[in-house]
Amino acid sequence: MKKLIPIILVMPMFFASCEVEKVDEGLVGVEARGKSQSTAAFNFEDAASCTATETDLIAGQHTVVGKVSVSVVGENYVVTYSVDPGYCLTETHLSVVEDPANFPMTPSGNPKNGNFEFSDQHGCVNSYSYEVPTSKGNFIAAHGVVVCVTEEAGEIDSTLPESLPFCITSQGIDNLTSYFEITIDGDSFLAGDFPAWCIDADSFIQNLACYDAEVLSSYGDLSGTTFEKPENFDLVNWVLNQNWEAPYTFGDIQMAIWLLLEDVGCPQCAGLGDASEERALEIVAMAEANGDGFIPECDEYVGIILLPVNPDETSENEIQSLIIPYKLHCNDCEDTVWADGCGFPGNNWAMYFYFPEAI
């Protein structure tokens, strides 16, 4: 199985401005996190610099792929590994000690995770917990191995958050390659910058405004929505996955999406730039000819629907629904993970952290 490598989005031309992948640097290579020692007397970092009840799970030194959290239940810690959608755990190794010098280590100060007190192999799990007596100490080293998981459009609905906050940062200007640019806040796997498109011609949304939105997959259950032609989301997904080039513009694509879902190509003609209904109809014709039954595969984009909640409870006006492209992961990577914290004194990037709960 390959090592985790950088996943750099190469969107179709009209998506070039977005960044939706979590992986921002390579997951291969090891750099020193501490100074190598030639004796058994190691210098450890101040525990105050790595005190946490929850910390990031880091793959290959740079990429956040999940969390490690600690709670106290009775006389035990419950130490839980959890990984983000797109990854799974195949093995975990945990050590809990009173003093970091007590971690199993080599003479040079590198951890011997194979000698950690708690260890298990997993087929492919999203989370795993250990119960550890609090009497063992407050210093925790959590190691593991993750692999990428192939995501499928038909299953993405089960991993989506129920809701999320987002803000519109741009709309319908000449240098855009999509109708909107938005930023999704929070800590879900969808957090980041996305291109976005309107998918409800009968409502409005305010530029540079922020909203909370319900989240749906365009391949999920849409029975409770008000889209006029939900059966055409396969065609819309086909459109989202094409590398559109001149003479087609973002305005043409927006008009085509409205035509596919609403039968209206230009409800207000606002912010569409140099759009042409003739070119939009050409896109529609190509989608109908090539996109029937289209289901994106890994490394392609599935449309995620955002249904904004009206912040004005006294208004009956609905807020414009949006669709954003999310790239499906492929199962082609594997790497070591450590819970983020203080560095071991050896010459690798292994880490541990201090849990502040009094024993």
Beta strand 87-97 pairing with 322-327? unpaired
Band of pLDDT at residue 40, cut at 50, 70 and 90: low
Report the percentage of the chain scoring pLDDT > 70. 84
Tokens standing for 39? 């004796």
107, with CB counted inside 10 A (0-12, 13-18, 19+), is: exposed
Q: Looking at the DSSP assignment, which residues form a beta bridge with residue 210?
A: 167
Mean pLDDT of the chain: 85
Q: Would you call 289 helix, strand, or coil by DSSP?
A: helix
pTM, rounded to two decimals? 0.64
- Phi, psi angle pair for 329, to nearest 5°: -75, 155
Q: What pLDDT score was predicted for residue 242?
A: 97
Mean pLDDT, residues 121-136: 95
Q: How far apart are CA 159 and CA 162, in angstroms?
A: 9
Q: Is it the case that residue 241 has pLDDT exceeding 80?
A: yes
**Higher-confidence residue: 330 or 118?**
118
Q: Over 90: is that where the pLDDT of 315 sits?
A: no
Residue 144 has pLDDT above 80, yes or no: yes
Compute φ and ψ for 92, nearest 5 degrees: -140, 150
The structure tokens listed for 148 are: 């990428």
The residue written with tokens 């996109």 in the block is 291
Helix axis angle for 277-290 and 233-240, nearest 10°, is 110
Of residues 228 and 26, more confidence is placed in 228
Q: How far is CA 196 from the centre of its chain?
A: 17
On the question of pLDDT at 331 being above 80, the answer is: no
Share of the chain above pLDDT 90, in %: 66
Residues 308 and 302: beta-carbon distance below 8 Å? no
Are 338 and 344 within 8 A, CB to CB? Answer: no
Q: What pLDDT shows up at residue 168?
A: 95
Residue with tokens 């087609």: 248
3-class DSSP state for residue 211?
strand
**Confidence (pLDDT) at 38:** 41
Identify the three-state secondary structure at position 260: helix
- The yes-or-no verdict on residue 2 having pLDDT over 80 is no
d(CA 240, CA 259): 14
Asked if omega into 100 is within 30° of 0 (cis), the reply is: no
Question: If 0-12 CB within 10 Å is exposed, 13-18 middle and 19+ buried, where does residue 51 land?
Answer: middle
Average pLDDT score over residue span 253-274: 83
Confidence of residue 268 (pLDDT cuts 50, 70, 90): low
Residue-wise DSSP of 228-288: S-GGGHHHHHHHHTS---TT--HHHHHHHHHHHHHS-S-SS--S--S--HHHHHHHHHHHH
Which tokens go with 98? 């009173």
The pLDDT of residue 13 is: 37
Task: For residues 333-354, give the mean pLDDT.
Answer: 95
Quick check: 30 pLDDT over 50?
no
Q: Is the pLDDT of residue 258 over 90?
A: yes
Look up tokens 């541990």; give the residue: 352
Average pLDDT over residues 167-185: 86
Name the CA dihedral angle for 111, 113, 118, 119, rounded to a multiple of 10 degrees: 170
Mean pLDDT of 48-52: 95
Kindly list the domain boundaries of the chain, sorted by start residue.
31-150+332-354, 156-327
pLDDT band at 48 (very low <50, low <70, confident <90, very high): very high
Look at 17-26, 302-311, 334-343 and tell me which has the smallest mean pLDDT.
17-26
Pairing of strands 118-125, 87-97: antiparallel
Q: Are 208 and 45 in contact (CB under 8 A)?
A: no
